[in-house]
Amino acid sequence: MITYTVADKWLKDEDGILAFVITQTHFQSPSSAGFRSFYIGNNQIIQPVGIDDLKALKPFPDAANKTAIFIAKNAKVTQ
> Is this structure's pTM higher than 0.85?
no
Instruction: Answer yes or no: are the C-beta atoms of 25 and 66 closer than 8 Å.
Output: yes
User: For residue range 15-73, what is the model confidence (pLDDT) as tens digits?
Assistant: 789 999 999 888 888 988 888 888 888 888 888 999 999 988 888 888 888 899 999 99
Q: How far is residue 77 from each of residues 35, 65, 68, measured CA to CA in Å?
A: 16, 32, 26
Beta bridge partners of 47: 73
Segments making up each domain of the chain, as ranges: 2-76
Per-residue pLDDT, 70? 93
